[in-house]
Amino acid sequence: MLILLPPSEGKASPSGKARLDLDSLAFADHLGAKRSALLAALEKLGRGPQKKAIEALGISAGQAGEIARDAELASAPAAPASEVYTGVLYDRLDFGSLTATGKKRASKNLLIASALWGFLAPGDRIPYYRFSMKAKLPKVGGLPAFWRESLAAAMEAAGHDEDGGLVLDMRSGAYSAAWKPKRARLVTVRGFTETGGQRKAISHMAKAVRGDVARVALSARSMPKDLETLAGLLEAEGMNVELTEKTLDVIEPG
């Protein structure tokens, strides 16, 4: 089972002497050139007109300070991605409190989607940055299309897109558009509240559910190999779970 997490808009700012090393990141052979191209584009953007950079990055005028930070990522302090990404999902996953076995499983069975890095392993060291899939850099264009071919090659080479494989997808739409398996089974994790038989999807609650699901999978006695086993583990934790061929839904009372 492969677990795909989204990035988070909120991020911690690393400190210390560690710096970005593109060759050390996951899938460097397949994604390194793309990462380098985006870093170069951000450096160039930082040297140009601020208004143009704000439009390209899809940020507000109040976030203009992020432009300079993005232009200096190569020299900025870096820390493991599992520590840099914050927010509801990552709080519920609580990576730091996983057992050694859970962390080892995550290093093999969990990837974090990113507009800037493609896919990251939890231990990959990255700096703080501001860059989302809605950004459109000059000569780069839409990021899902920019990444699609390289991510497909990386996932196939890593054995993550094979017949019989299971991909538990917790990404949002734009990140999902950058890579979808051709052979492995893609299952989207969703969260709902239910009141009087009426269900409602709530973004904040869905993020919490996804963090919980990832934690249960990584903390199990053995990593679940199929959706039914995972559903059983979740139900043992008190969750109300419904499965379809393409979804895993967790329903909580409203």
For the chain, the domains span 2-253
What stretches in the chain show pLDDT beneath 70? none
Strand partners, 3: 110, 168
Q: Give the pTM.
A: 0.96
pLDDT of residue 231: 97
pLDDT of residue 24: 98
pLDDT of residue 142: 94
pLDDT of residue 203: 79
Provide the 10 A C-beta neighbour count for residue 248.
23
pLDDT of residue 201: 84
- Mind listing the pLDDT tens digit for each residue in 144-203? 999 999 999 999 999 999 999 999 999 988 999 999 999 999 999 999 998 888 888 877
> Is the alpha carbon torsion for 50, 53, 55, 61 positive or negative?
negative
pLDDT of residue 172: 87
pLDDT of residue 95: 96
